[in-house]
């Protein structure tokens, strides 16, 4: 166990997250009043005096000057000192240095907005955050591309919609999303669609006059619903919102075992411009192990069907670090995905999320999962190059394999604007359906309004959800 002793408690979370990145799985807590100096626990002490931050642990001492600094800079200094100590103790460096947040690109974008040159930014990333050269260059490339992409969105009056459909054919091992097995919930889907239509109508009324830039229908797996239910939702959407100016309409058709010709035809009819078919891996044994009731062959069939229906912008999600997989399995997945030739690719590193079966059954998987290194990941980087793609968005997660990141790559013109908008938090995202989180901009941190994950609670609480959304929009000056 690691015990942290701070004379300014407001930095506890930052020190704890950074320590957790160096020592994954280790328990970290504040120093109790009864702590014994000769305890076996590792003690990290952080003392802030007027002009100095002093960090010490196991005989090592690191100092940072903080005189006259603003809180943000003091926090950076504390994290640098903690980083140096932990790096010496563990003999490791972290690819993303002291950045423990999930949106490293936001920091780089803010430097671009300040007008700093790429060289100055790279230097700051090495010097102030200890980010590796490779990550700094990748981050900068993505931030520049994001800037270009954002020019097509209306950042002063526009907004985007997220619609959460909380059903899937089966629940994957690592899932912590809003996902309920559709067969078991077949008596609920009809009422869910009715409740969603109510929320769609009320939200469209509230946002009248504001341009809708992008729509993202996710979940869950929206295509787990029947073609009739999908049609019903799209009818409501196109009647209540003005979809003619929408720049992008994405539907997660993630599970190939949920895709049919009829459902694809519904999506095409209503102008869906981008779909995502997600193999995660093209190795059948792994697919079985992670609870996905489909094979690599069904991914190929779903792709073929989608191309036949006329979809020209298809994304593929892949996960590195699944149990039983290493470089050989990644190479097979890359070889098979190359044949599918998607327009974009999202490469995730497996993350251990609190509400997932993976975490509950961690003892069973801890020796076979999370085998991700920078070099193993380069298999997918090479794949993106072969498919003529560039990285255009990136985010990190807590407890992510190899301390790495998730990266979206795309061919020219096939990037997902919604993905960039949600990362950069430059435009309100209004979430409908189960499990969605609206982000309303306030000038500082966005105000977040969560819809319940459970479809039954969503159905019961629709009126309340609509009321809270209205109040939130009023409070943030949108109404």
Question: Shortest gap between Cβ of 255 and ligand SF4 (angstroms)?
Answer: 5
Stretch that binds ligand SF4, among 115-123, 217-225, 300-308, 439-447 (CB under 6 A): 217-225
List the helix and strand counts (H, then E) for the chain.
16, 18
Stretch that binds ligand SF4, among 25-33, 65-73, 143-151, 173-181 (CB under 6 A): 173-181
Q: Which of 28, 175, 182, 414 binds ligand SF4 (CB under 6 A)?
A: 175
The residue (of 102 and 171) whose beta carbon lies closer to ligand SF4 is 171
Question: Shortest gap between Cβ of 168 and ligand SF4 (angstroms)?
Answer: 3
Under rule CB under 6 A, residue 430 binds ligand SF4: no
The CA dihedral of 327, 136, 353, 410, to the nearest 10 degrees, is: -70
The residue (of 109 and 258) whose beta carbon lies closer to ligand SF4 is 258
Q: Which of 57, 76, 221, 427 binds ligand SF4 (CB under 6 A)?
A: 221
Stretch that binds ligand SF4, among 28-36, 170-178, 232-240, 357-365 (CB under 6 A): 170-178
Stretch that binds ligand SF4, among 71-79, 101-109, 172-180, 374-382 (CB under 6 A): 172-180
Angle in degrees, CA 369, 371, 367, rounded to 5: 40
Report CA-CA distances (Å) from 123 to 131, 143, 184, 401, 451: 10, 16, 54, 27, 41
Query: What is the DSSP secondary-structure string of 443-468?
Result: SSSPEEEEPPSSHHHHHHHHHHHHHH
Q: Which residues contact 194 (CB under 8 A, 6 or more apart)?
A: 459
Q: Which of residues 241-260 bind ligand SF4 (CB under 6 A)?
A: 254-255
The residue (of 172 and 237) whose beta carbon lies closer to ligand SF4 is 172
Query: What is the DSSP secondary-structure string of 194-257?
Result: HHHHHHHHHHHHHTTTSPEEEEEEEES-GGGS-HHHHHHHHHHHHHHS--TT-SEEEEE---GG
Stretch that binds ligand SF4, among 167-175, 259-267, 395-403, 416-424 (CB under 6 A): 167-175
Stretch that binds ligand SF4, among 73-81, 124-132, 213-221, 459-467 (CB under 6 A): 213-221
Under rule CB under 6 A, residue 172 binds ligand SF4: yes
The residue (of 171 and 243) whose beta carbon lies closer to ligand SF4 is 171
Under rule CB under 6 A, residue 177 binds ligand SF4: yes
Dist CA 26 CA 31 (whole Å): 15
Residues binding ligand SF4: number (CB under 6 A): 11
Question: Shortest gap between Cβ of 225 and ligand SF4 (angstroms)?
Answer: 13
| Adjacency order of strands within the sheet including 429-433 | 390-395, 406-410, 344-349, 314-320, 274-276, 248-252, 212-219, 159-165, 429-433, 437-440, 447-450
Question: Shortest gap between Cβ of 129 and ligand SF4 (angstroms)?
Answer: 31
Q: Which of 43, 116, 150, 171 binds ligand SF4 (CB under 6 A)?
A: 171
DSSP 351: B
Handedness of CA 343, 349, 352, 357 (dihedral sign): positive
Under rule CB under 6 A, residue 348 binds ligand SF4: no
Dist CA 465 CA 433 (whole Å): 10
Dist CA 68 CA 203 (whole Å): 47
Stretch that binds ligand SF4, among 43-51, 56-64, 214-222, 406-414 (CB under 6 A): 214-222
Under rule CB under 6 A, residue 140 binds ligand SF4: no
Under rule CB under 6 A, residue 356 binds ligand SF4: no
Helix, coil or strand: residue 349: strand
The residue (of 76 and 280) whose beta carbon lies closer to ligand SF4 is 280
The residue (of 98 and 286) whose beta carbon lies closer to ligand SF4 is 286
Q: What are phi and psi of 236, to 5 degrees?
A: -60, -45
Q: Which residues pair with 161 in a beta bridge?
A: 215, 430
Under rule CB under 6 A, residue 220 binds ligand SF4: yes
Question: Shortest gap between Cβ of 374 and ligand SF4 (angstroms)?
Answer: 25
Question: Shortest gap between Cβ of 254 and ligand SF4 (angstroms)?
Answer: 5
Check residue 426 and give left, alpha or beta (phi > 0: left; psi -120 to 50: alpha). alpha
CB 214 within 8 A of CB 162: no
Question: Shortest gap between Cβ of 76 and ligand SF4 (angstroms)?
Answer: 35
The residue (of 204 and 322) whose beta carbon lies closer to ligand SF4 is 322
Q: Encoding tokens for residue 456?
A: 């039954």
Q: Which of 136, 168, 251, 387 binds ligand SF4 (CB under 6 A)?
A: 168
Q: Encoding tokens for residue 449?
A: 């309004």
Q: Encoding tokens for residue 239?
A: 């009647």
Handedness of CA 404, 317, 435, 323 (dihedral sign): negative
Site residues, ligand SF4 (CB under 6 A): 168, 171-172, 175, 177, 179, 219-221, 254-255
């Amino acid at each position: 166990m690691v015990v942290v002793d701070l004379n300014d408690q407001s930095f506890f979370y930052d020190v704890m997250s950074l320590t957790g990145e160096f020592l994954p799985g280790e328990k970290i807590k504040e120093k109790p009043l009864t702590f014994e100096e000769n305890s076996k626990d590792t003690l990290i002490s952080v003392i802030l005096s007027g002009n100095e931050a002093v960090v010490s642990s196991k005989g090592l001492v690191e100092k940072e000057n903080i005189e006259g600094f603003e809180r943000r800079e003091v926090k950076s200094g504390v994290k640098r000192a903690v980083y140096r100590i932990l790096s010496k103790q563990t003999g490791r460096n972290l690819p993303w240095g002291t950045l423990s947040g999930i949106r490293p690109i936001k920091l780089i974008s803010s430097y671009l907005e300040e007008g700093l040159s790429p060289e100055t930014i790279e230097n700051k990333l090495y010097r102030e955050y200890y980010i590796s050269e490779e990550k700094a260059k990748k981050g900068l490339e993505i931030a520049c591309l994001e800037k270009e992409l954002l020019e097509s969105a209306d950042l002063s009056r526009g907004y985007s919609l997220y619609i959460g459909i909380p059903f899937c054919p089966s629940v994957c091992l690592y899932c912590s999303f809003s996902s309920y097995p559709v067969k078991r919930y077949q008596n609920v889907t009809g009422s869910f669609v009715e409740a969603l239509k109510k929320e769609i109508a009320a939200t469209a009324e509230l946002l009248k006059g504001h341009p809708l830039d992008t729509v993202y229908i996710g979940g869950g797996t929206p295509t787990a619903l029947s073609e009739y239910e999908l049609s019903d939702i799209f009818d409501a959407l196109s009647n209540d919102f003005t979809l003619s100016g929408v720049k992008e309409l994405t539907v997660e058709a993630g599970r190939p075992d949920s895709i049919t010709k009829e459902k694809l035809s519904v999506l095409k009819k209503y102008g869906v411009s981008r779909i995502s078919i997600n193999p995660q891996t093209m190795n059948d044994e792994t697919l079985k192990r992670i609870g996905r009731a489909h094979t690599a062959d069904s991914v190929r069939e779903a792709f073929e069907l989608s191309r036949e229906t006329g979809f020209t912008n298809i994304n593929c999600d892949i996960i590195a670090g699944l149990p039983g997989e290493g470089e050989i399995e990644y190479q097979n997945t890359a070889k098979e995905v190359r044949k599918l030739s998607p327009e974009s690719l999202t490469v995730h590193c497996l993350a251990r999320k609190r509400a997932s079966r993976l975490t509950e059954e961690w003892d069973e998987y801890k020796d076979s999962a999370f085998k991700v290194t920078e070099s193993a990941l380069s298999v997918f980087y090479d794949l993106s190059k072969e498919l003529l793609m560039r990285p255009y968005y990136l985010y990190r997660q807590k407890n992510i394999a190899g301390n790495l990141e998730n990266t979206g790559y795309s061919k020219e013109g096939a990037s997902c604007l919604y993905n960039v908008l949600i990362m950069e938090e430059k435009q309100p995202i209004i979430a409908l359906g189960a499990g969605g989180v609206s982000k309303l901009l306030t000038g500082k941190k966005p105000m977040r309004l969560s819809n319940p994950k459970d479809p039954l609670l969503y159905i019961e609480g629709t009126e309340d959800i609509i009321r809270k959304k209205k109040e939130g929009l009023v409070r943030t000056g949108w109404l």
